């Protein structure tokens, strides 16, 4: 079965990375543990806060790979404790957040059972570039030329055509 892409239109050139990102987002787990908040701290700052009661610093891992922020928790059961009732979940988890290009993690800390991760988006520099428009070379359409860089034993003939948009196409 052929999959139809959202970006299959010829007007969306170079959007393959967005398509891969959308695929990754759709495959991430929708599980609700641990609960989290995402706050906007300013124009270019975010904070992700995860409720990780029962986890210590040695039980948590925060990693970034390919624009994915992954938070893992793995808690060891304390064999010395005899629980009458255990209502605080300390099961292992993995929570993944897909980050936009340019987002950087500026810090992470654990305080009172809340893991906070600060994200910064540096302001990109405005880029304006002017593309030079050149005149095509005056050659006869369909004229054959021999590449002078080849040896005499194996000359390669190429058709040289010009049009009004490209300088030369072979």
Q: Say if 125 falls within a structural domain.
A: no
Residue in the structure block whose two tokens are 């957040």: 97
Q: Is residue 60 part of a domain?
A: yes
In which domain, by residue range, is 103 found? 20-77+84-120
The answer on pLDDT for 40 being more than 90 is yes
How much is the pTM? Answer: 0.59
Domains in the chain, number: 2
CATH classification at residue 113 = 2.60.40.790
Residues 114 and 156 occupy one common structural domain: no
Distance CA 34, CA 52 (A): 7
Q: Which of 9-13, 33-37, 51-55 has the lowest mean pLDDT?
A: 9-13
User: pLDDT tens digit string along 118-154?
Assistant: 999 888 788 888 999 998 887 666 655 555 554 445 4
**Alpha-carbon torsion, ordered 114, 118, 16, 7, to 10 deg:** 70
């Amino acid at each position: 079965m052929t999959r139809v892409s959202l970006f299959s239109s010829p007007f969306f050139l170079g959007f393959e990375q967005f398509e891969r990102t959308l695929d990754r987002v759709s495959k991430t787990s929708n599980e609700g543990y641990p609960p989290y908040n995402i706050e906007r701290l300013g124009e270019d700052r975010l904070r992700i806060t995860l409720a990780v009661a029962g986890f210590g610093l040695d039980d948590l891992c925060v990693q970034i790979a390919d624009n994915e922020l992954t938070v893992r928790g793995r808690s060891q059961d304390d064999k010395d404790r005899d629980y009458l009732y255990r209502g605080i979940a300390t099961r292992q988890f993995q929570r993944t957040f897909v980050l936009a290009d340019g987002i950087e993690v500026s810090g992470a800390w654990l305080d009172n059972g809340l893991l906070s991760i600060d994200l910064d988006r540096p302001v990109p520099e405005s880029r304006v570039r002017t593309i030079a428009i050149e005149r095509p070379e005056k050659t006869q359409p369909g004229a054959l030329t021999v590449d002078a860089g080849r040896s005499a034993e194996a000359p390669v003939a190429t058709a040289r055509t010009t049009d009004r948009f490209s300088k030369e196409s072979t």
